Homo-oligomer: A and B are copies of this chain.
Amino acid sequence: MVTTIRVLYADTDMAGVVYHANYLRYFEQARTELLYAQGVDLARLHEEAGLVFAISSCALNYHRSAGYGDRLAIEVLPVKVGPARVTLRYEVRCNGGDEVYVTGETTFAALDATTGRVVRLPPAMRDAMARAAAEAGHDWPG
C-alpha cells in the first residue's frame, strides 16, 4: 500500500531537506493507513482491549534527499508477523519517480496499556497483516 505525503517546512531542516527523524513520522502515517485499510483501528484497540503499540526496533537508510514541497510516496509492506511482533518494510519514492529515496524497517509489539508488558497480538491484527502481505504478493513462513 502506498501513502502520499507532501513535505512541509516543519519537516525540513537547515540543509534544505527532510530531517532524518521525520521519516519515522511518515512511516507511522503509512502504517496507520495500512491498518485502517485492513480494518484495524488502533484507537479502538486502545479503548476496548487496553492495548497500546510500541516500536521495539527500527532501521533506516537514506539514499537521496527529499526537500520542501516534494510529494513522497511511502510504500509499506508487512515482512514478518510473529506471536507478539510485526515487522514492516518501507520504501520512499518522490514526485512520481522510480528511484528509492529512503528504505526502512520498523518492528512493533502490542503492550498492555496498564502494565506496559508485551502481549500476544490480537488475531485481527495478525490476519490483517497476513492479508496485506498477500495482497502485495508477499508470503512469510508461519
What does DSSP make chain A's interface, helix, strand, loop or mixed? mixed
A101 at the interface (CB under 8 A from B): no
Contact (Cβ within 8 A) B54 A17: yes
Interface residues on A, range: 35 or more
Contact (Cβ within 8 A) B52 A15: yes
Q: Which of A20, A25, A62 has the most CB of B within 10 A?
A: A20
Specify which of B10, B21, B33, B56 is in contact with A61 (CB 8 Å cutoff): B56
Interface string of A51-82 (1 = CB under 8 A from B): 01111111111100101111000000000000
| New contact pairs (18) apart from A10-B21, A17-B54, A21-B28, CB-CB < 8 Å | A8-B25, A10-B28, A13-B14, A14-B17, A15-B52, A20-B58, A21-B24, A41-B69, A42-B68, A43-B67, A43-B69, A44-B69, A54-B62, A54-B65, A56-B62, A57-B59, A59-B59, A59-B60
